């Protein structure tokens, strides 16, 4: 970001957007919004750029994001809203940036109450018997060269059986660039279990790794590149922003 001292109008609009974003998060260790404009340009409906950076952001889906960094180009705004210290976009804008998620935070989300609810009562048919699959615990390791390892304890309700699975795989982006998928799977434990059981687990893992869950209102992510290193996932992304939230109330 620029080291120039922000103007009063920039400070007012930046703080309004920052508070609006904070209200959509469960928690944030650090959140900073920097709007670059001046009063004349704002009255004309122009903003030079908007930068959003943050650390330790926790979304409503209970996913902690280690770091985000987004930067827009020139933005067209409603000039009347700017005079009120808000930032109302005249049309959607794109912000280029990156998102960093740690292995520890992924594992916390995988085993959180929010996502555990999505993993219960998953229908499955084995040997003509209708069962439900519950994933009791999942542990993921982020390895080098975009690889990952997963260990999971699963329970078959109806058959009253518990199983332990472990596998490695390659983490890749889907062609649409909105989520991830696991490929080149190498089973480490549970090889003798029915294929549709391991397939059902992989389907649920893919759902858990669907990074469309990383969102704020009026913001859609499109992923361009992904790098998995030891213990960390970095996503290069474009955020398409329909509106930037704002809040003119003072901080609590």
| 37 — pLDDT class (breaks 50, 70, 90) | confident
- Average pLDDT for residues 185-191, to the nearest whole number? 75
Strands (DSSP E) found in the chain = 27-36, 46-47, 49-58, 64-72, 75-76, 93-102, 122-126, 129-142, 147-157, 161-173, 180-189, 219-229, 232-241
| Contact predicate 58/25, CB 8 Å | yes
Q: What's the pLDDT score for residue 247?
A: 61
Contact indicator for 115, 109 with CB cutoff of 8 Å: yes
| pLDDT tens digits, 204-237 | 666 666 655 566 667 888 888 889 999 999 989 8
pLDDT score of 181: 79
Question: In the beta sheet, which residues pair with residue 72?
Answer: 95
pLDDT-derived band at 143 (thresholds 50, 70, 90) equals very high
Q: Which of 206, 197, 100, 199 is nearest to 148 (CA)?
A: 206
Pick 218 or 142 by higher pLDDT.
142
pLDDT at residue 201 above 80? no
Query: Is the pLDDT at 94 greater than 90, yes or no?
Result: yes
Strand partners, 93: 241
Alpha carbon distance 47, 149 (integer Å): 45
Question: Over 50: is that where the pLDDT of 183 sits?
Answer: yes
Q: H or E stretch including 199?
A: helix 195-208
CB atoms within 10 A of CB 36: 21
Answer for the pair 115, 62: CB distance below 8 angstroms, yes or no. Answer: yes
State the CB neighbour count (10 A cutoff) for residue 50: 26
What does the alpha-carbon distance between residue 82 and residue 65 come to, in Å, rounded to a whole number? Answer: 30
More reliable by pLDDT, 122 or 152:
152
Taking residues 128-140, what's their average pLDDT?
A: 82
Mark out the alpha helices in 23-157 (DSSP H runs). Answer: 39-43, 79-83, 103-110, 113-118
Mean pLDDT score, 42-66: 87
- Whole-number Cα distances in Å, 248 to 28, 48, 59, 231: 19, 22, 22, 39
Least Cα distance to 213 among 91, 110, 95 occurs for 110
103 pLDDT tier (thresholds 50, 70, 90): very high
Give 141's pLDDT tier (boundaries 50, 70, 90): very high
Instruction: Provide the b/e sequence for 164-201 (b: ≥16 CB within 10 Å).
Output: ebebbbbbebeeeeebbbbeeeeeeebeebeeebbebb
For position 250, what pLDDT does the model report? 38
pLDDT of residue 71: 95
Provide the pLDDT for residue 211.
57
Task: Tell me: pLDDT of 169 over 80.
Answer: yes
Average pLDDT of the chain, as a whole number: 81
User: Other CB atoms closer than 10 Å to residue 207's CB: what's the count?
Assistant: 14
* Mean predicted confidence (pLDDT) in 100-119: 82
Q: Is the pLDDT of residue 1 over 50?
A: no
**Confidence band, pLDDT 50/70/90 cuts, at residue 2:** very low
CB-neighbour burial class of residue 79 (10 A; exposed 0-12, middle 13-18, buried 19+): middle
Who wins on pLDDT, 12 or 73? 73
Residues 69-79: what's their mean pLDDT?
91
Average pLDDT over residues 159-180: 81
């Amino acid at each position: 970001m620029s080291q120039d001292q922000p103007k009063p109008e920039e400070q007012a609009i930046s703080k309004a957007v920052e508070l609006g974003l904070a209200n959509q998060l469960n928690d944030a260790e650090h959140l900073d919004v920097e709007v670059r404009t001046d009063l004349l340009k704002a009255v004309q409906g122009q903003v030079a750029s908007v930068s959003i950076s943050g650390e330790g952001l926790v979304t409503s889906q209970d996913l902690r994001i280690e770091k985000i960094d987004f930067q827009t180009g020139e933005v067209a705004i409603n000039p009347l809203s700017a005079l009120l210290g808000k930032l109302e976009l005249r049309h959607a804008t794109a912000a280029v940036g990156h998102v960093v998620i740690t292995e520890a935070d992924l594992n916390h989300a995988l085993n959180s109450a929010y996502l555990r609810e999505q993993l219960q009562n998953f229908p499955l048919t084995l040997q003509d018997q209708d069962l439900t699959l519950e994933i009791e615990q999942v542990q993921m390791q982020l390895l080098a060269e975009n690889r990952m390892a997963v260990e999971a304890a699963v329970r078959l309700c109806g058959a009253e059986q518990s199983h332990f699975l472990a596998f490695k795989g390659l983490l890749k982006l889907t062609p649409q660039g909105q989520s991830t998928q696991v490929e080149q799977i190498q089973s480490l434990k549970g090889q003798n279990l029915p294929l549709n059981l391991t397939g059902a687990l992989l389907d649920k893992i893919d759902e858990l790794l669907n990074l469309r869950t990383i969102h704020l209102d009026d913001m859609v992510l499109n992923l361009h590149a992904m790098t998995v290193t030891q213990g960390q996932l970095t996503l290069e992304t474009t955020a398409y922003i329909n509106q930037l939230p704002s809040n003119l109330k003072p901080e609590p």
